[in-house]
Chains A and B, each alone.
Chain A
Amino acid sequence: MQTVINFDPLRLPPETRALREEVRAFIAEEVAAGTFQPAKGLDGESFNREFSRKVGARGWIGMTWPKKYGGHERSFLDRYVVTEEFRSVTAPTWAHFVADRQSGPVIMKYAPEELKLEILPRICKGELAFCIGMSEPGSGSDLFAASSKAERLNDGWKLNGTKIWTSNAHQSDYMIGLFRTSPATKENRRHGLTQFLINMKWDGITTNPIYQMTGRHDFNEVVFENVHVPDTHLLGEVDGAWKQATAELAYERSGPERFLETLYVLTALIKLLGEKPETREAEGIGRLVAQLHALRRMSVSVAGMLEQGKEPVLEASIVKDVGTLWEQQIPARARELAAFAERTSANNPDFDEIVEFASLQAPKFTIQGGTTEILRGIIARGLGLR
């Protein structure tokens, strides 16, 4: 009887309690000041530089990074608590979130020291917004089929090509982009891609908006025409990006953002159904809360593994797989459970609008950051099936 996977329980340390209360107090202040509205869930992807600066000033960006780079050398678990508190209220963290979660760590590992000292402290202050240049019109899930080119020059590189689905490229200061420096080889089809740090203000970069069916503009197409990148902005090894991505994924994929994106819908549902719901409604709430609780315990368990220095890529993929499917289903299930509940001005006049917006958001949850199909392939590989 072998144990195939482990999700050992982790209780967040008691010290995180005080941090959690601090974050809640900060959120309460910001909500009272009108910075954002948790109930409607519209702000979760809002880009608010001022908010990010305030968060940075509190020491909540780059929390686990070395102090010499502006970080705070706190634990993964501290960071987890801050992340989940902000997510639970769909706070407008978008202007710093990507930098904090993945761009900063890539720079820390692969950028030259001067660049690290220049950029990382500014990320920690909430001054810099990053976007991710990976997908292209011809390649999304198949990351290593990217064909946008980086040609060698005497003093750097010349970029040509197009990136797509780039969230907030139109508002970002920097992009970490994946470009082809060599053709793939027979031995290694992932060979030939290189990561570059790109200043979004450089000549030759054009950003075109892509509107989602929610009406929102987050995505963009980013066109590169003879964009000049100095050697200093090469991240890591030429042709070596395939080695550089995996650790990121474990960290990125298991986080609470992977199942909390529609918590606001569940909250609205509970408010709508009132203190004494019908049996059917109570059962529905109970099942959803049980599922959410289980997901959170899974995610906290993975955070514990990360804190121990492990790289739980398999477990993180599982959390994202189960989590994104769950959060995607919430609008539909809320709609069903709410079918017989009266809408009054007291219990939530906006419920149906909330469900409608969430329903239009929902398709992308199982597509962004690694599709369900890809995640299941990773899980299958982890089981030894591939």
Chain B
Amino acid sequence: MSETSQSIVLETTRRILADRADPQTINAARDESYKAPLWQALEESGLTLAWVPEEFGGIGASMIDGFDILRIAGQYAAPVPLSETLLAGWLLAASGQTCLDGPMTVAPVRHRDRITLQGDGRLAGTAKSVPFASDAKTIVVLAEGDGRTVIAMVDPADCVIAPRPHDMGSERADITFQATKPIGLADLRDGADRQSAAIIGAAARATQMTGALETCLAIGAQYTQERNAFGRPIAKFQAVQQNLAQLTGEVAASLAATGSAADTLENERDNQQAVFLEVAAAKIRVGEAARDGMAIAHQVHGAIGFTSEYVLQRYTRALMGWRDDFGDESQWAVQLGNLVAENGEDQLWPMLTTR
């Protein structure tokens, strides 16, 4: 993709979300009437199917375009399944299936959850904490059985959706499949497998979290300049400055790690070890950044920060949910650590310096 079209995707996403998904407005909304027009604008612009090639109904944008969308979606804690649909589109394309219209979500997202493909072609299992499960027109499921890894499309009416306690920003639900007959089903192909799906999922989440952390920093910096105490904005106090500087470091590490991962997925897709290192490192590092970053963002906001009426909690909830999706920091760290150990200490530096 040329630089121009990359910028177009980024600017379009930003424009639509700025116009229709302002976090303060969403947070104060009394009903969900903002959702449909927001979704329509996103869908009409093609952003929702950015990672789907044209032959399968998408716009065939680059990996980097998609990550730009995800980062902006994270910046806004977008209240519709933009990122979920993007991911679902990737999975469907990776299994050679055409997308259906409307919002989609991906299941499972939690590392321990497994959906089984039974001998009769039906699905069984529970996927916990799936974002926007109740908003999706199609649930895209990664299932395993019989030596196969498949991507299935499921009608939400055919499964049991139990919303989790209302958590603003990602509206998660547990989905139970009981001999569920999918609408469509196909094997992941061209070498894609459960791990590749986990890699794309983890990369997506790390990017979303990065966007969210950027906003935590922006609103923290803004709030502390507006809030006065002891005759001056609290931003003038060194202790507050130190905290925000530390948060800045976490945002910086996140930007660098996820930007690099996106670049690798765009330009070195076939280099499995490079892709694994970049994505695992990003998911781990951004998960840690989220842990420390959320704490700092709340601290600089004082009491107003942990109320439901203030916008920060949309980000806190989003970050907490995303960091547990597609493998948490510990799970990825064990994998990465084992790889490094197996390769031996002399290979660490060469592994890090391929780019």
Contacts and interface: CB of A to CB of B under 8 A. Distances in A.
A383 B147 CA distance: 53
Contact of B336 (A279, A289, A318): A289
B218 A286 contact: no
B348 interface: yes
12 contacts: A283-B330, A286-B332, A287-B337, A290-B336, A294-B256, A294-B282, A297-B256, A301-B256, A322-B253, A375-B245, A384-B221, A386-B236
Interface string B217-248: 11001001100000000011010111011101
A384 B217 CA distance: 12
B340 A293 contact: no
A155 interface: no
A281 B342 CA distance: 13
B179 interface: no
Interface string B327-355: 00110111111101110110011001101
A308 to B, nearest CB: 15
Interface stretch (B40-48, B80-88, B153-161, B258-266): B258-266
Interface of B: 14, 18, 72, 75-76, 214-215, 217-218, 221, 224-225, 235-236, 238, 240-242, 244-246, 248-249, 251-257, 259-260, 262-263, 267, 277-278, 280-282, 284-285, 288, 329-330, 332-338, 340-342, 344-345, 348-349, 352-353, 355
Given A4-B251, A270-B344, A293-B281, A277 B259 contact: no
Interface string A345-386: 000000000000000000000000000010111011011111
> Top 5 A-B pairs ranked by shortest CB distance?
A286-B333, A286-B337, A282-B337, A285-B337, A380-B241
Contacts of A290: 257, 280-282, 284-285, 332-333, 336
B352 A282 contact: no
A298 interface: yes
B244 A385 contact: yes
A334 B245 CA distance: 26
A1 B76 contact: yes
B256 A7 contact: yes
A298 to B, nearest CB: 4
A266 B349 CA distance: 11
A286 B335 contact: yes
B259 A4 contact: no
B337 A283 contact: yes
Nearest to A270: B345
Contacts of A268: 345
Given A286-B280, A289-B337, A292-B352, 5 more contacts: A12-B355, A276-B338, A281-B341, A289-B281, A385-B236
A267 B346 CA distance: 8
A77 to B, nearest CB: 12
Contacts of A384: 221, 225
Contacts of A218: none
Contacts of A267: 345, 348-349
A271 interface: yes
B341 A285 contact: yes
A135 B280 CA distance: 42
Contacts of A1: 14, 18, 72, 75-76, 214-215, 218
A383 B282 CA distance: 24
Contact of A286 (B224, B236, B334): B334
Given A293-B352, A315-B252, A385 B221 contact: yes
B345 A2 contact: no
A386 B232 CA distance: 12
Contacts of B249: 318, 321-322, 379
Nearest to B238: A377
Contacts of A128: none
A262 interface: no
B335 A9 contact: no
Given A322-B252, A384-B221, A291 B285 contact: yes
Contact of A287 (B76, B241, B245, B288): B288
Given A3-B214, A290-B281, A318-B248, A277 B255 contact: no
A258 interface: no
A212 to B, nearest CB: 27
Contacts of B259: 7-9, 297, 301
Contacts of A286: 280, 284, 332-338, 340
A256 B333 CA distance: 23
B344 A4 contact: no
A274 interface: yes
A287 B215 contact: no
A4 B256 contact: no
Nearest to B233: A385
Nearest to B14: A1
B340 A4 contact: no
Contacts of A263: 349
Nearest to B332: A286
Nearest to A17: B354
Contacts of B353: 20, 84, 296
Contact of B333 (A20, A275, A283): A283
Given A11-B267, A286-B336, A298 B256 contact: yes
Contact of A283 (B253, B278, B334, B348): B334
A75 interface: no
